[in-house]
Amino acid sequence: MHILLLNEYYPPDTSATAKMAAQVAETLAQRHKVTVVAGRPSYDPDEFYPFAFLRRDTRNGVVVERVGSTAYPRHQMRRRVSNYLSYLALAVPRALAIRPDVILAMTDPPVAGIAGAFVARLAGRPFVYNIRDMYPDMAIGGDIVRPSRWVERWEKMHRSALKQAARVIVLGDDMRDRILAKGVAPERVVVVRDGTSFPASMPAQDDPIVREIRSGFPFVVLHAGNLGFYGAWGTLLKAAEILRNENVGLVFIGDGANRAALEAAASGSPNVRFLPFRPVEQVPHVMMAGDLHIVTVRRGLEGVVVPSKLYSILAAGRPVLAVAARESDAARIVIESGCGLAADPDDPAAVAAAIRELRGDPARLIEMGRLARDTAQKYARVNELQRFVAVMEEAALGKNGGNHLGS
């Protein structure tokens, strides 16, 4: 069959969504024809393309069509919105001209699912909605927008797209619960996790790059990833302050909309460091540098965003502290597997106490690392991708939803 994927970001964009879109598309292309309609690279791309109304090439068996959207850097919201709107204005007509058998939409831009449902309805084709981040819930919960009439209209259109979808593919059980609460039939909501691939090897803790990342701290609590709107950042900084004289360092690796504000808030904190993203070949060094790895979701955003970085931490065999509500997917996996602890995202003292507890028990940390590696086996990316293919094929063939796949 011919599958059309709508997502603005696609390699050489370097966002997590672009990378996952490529993995999904390339896996589907092993059995089916796949066309991606993307925009010009704009998310920290490793290659820039000159303007053209339409650029077509083939990457790893996938036909990639790029419409001539604006390609402003993502760091200014107004320019990013320009990228979104120009992409949609050009991608929707192009998608209508392609006439695929089934349409798959992700959530870049945040209304891509609504656009995908619109295209599918006009074309009379099945629609599959892969929700990476749930909008407008995330925009409201992350204080990006305020409740208003236009946001209510956005939510109404989003619910319509959800109910039209033959399948809604989500990243975790907490996100599935959110979708069910919007009135979508349970048999059409499927959990397919991002999963993980396993590093070929891990460096030693005395590796020079590992030592550099550790920044001289005897015990390192590490958060690697985007510093966006979803994390309990204030709680983490207050916990670091509680531990400032206890030989514990909090190291952030990455960038994002909140980094500048976090750095300002942490100025003068001797046990907090902010470091840039490392090259992809140094990801194992980043994993090894943390004695304890943080996964965080602000209270109220559980199920709105699912931090897929958890799977990379598990695959590396590192213990986890989930600073998130216990009902969140990340906290549930960590607690049930025994590979770490969970702490209230609104309670800095509880976070500090959890860090102190694990720092004082090296044998327990080693056992948690072993359990993390064992747990990662359950979420191997190759298996999750094959599950994604099966869901797409069911949707295209009009089969009724079965049991709760992926749970």
Domains of the chain plus CATH, in order, are 2-195+380-397 (3.40.50.2000), 208-378 (3.40.50.2000)
Cβ atoms < 10 Å from Cβ of 336: 9
**Who wins on pLDDT, 199 or 169?**
169
> CB under 8 Å to 143, separation ≥6 — which residues?
229
Check pLDDT > 80 for residue 100: yes
Distance CA 160, CA 176 (A): 17
Looking up tokens 């999963």 gives: 195
Beta strands in 60-179 (DSSP E): 62-67, 102-105, 127-130, 167-170
Among residues of the chain, what percentage have pLDDT more than 90?
82
Strand pairing report for 167-170 and 292-296: unpaired
Q: At 407, is the pLDDT very low, low, confident or very high (cuts 50, 70, 90)?
A: very low
User: So what's the pLDDT on residue 400?
Assistant: 53
By C-alpha distance, which of 106, 153, 115 is closest to 134?
106
Spatial neighbors of 138 by CB under 8 A, at least 6 apart, are 110, 144, 229, 230, 301, 304, 305
- Mean pLDDT across 105-117: 95
Beta bridge partners of 170: 191
pLDDT at 403: 37
Interval 342-398: pLDDT, tens: 999 999 999 999 999 999 999 999 999 999 999 999 999 999 999 999 999 999 888
* Structure confidence by residue, pLDDT tens digits, 227-246: 988 899 999 999 999 999 99
Using pLDDT thresholds of 50, 70 and 90, give the confidence band for residue 401.
very low
Mean pLDDT of 90-107: 96
Burial class (CB in 10 A: 0-12, 13-18, 19+), 386: middle
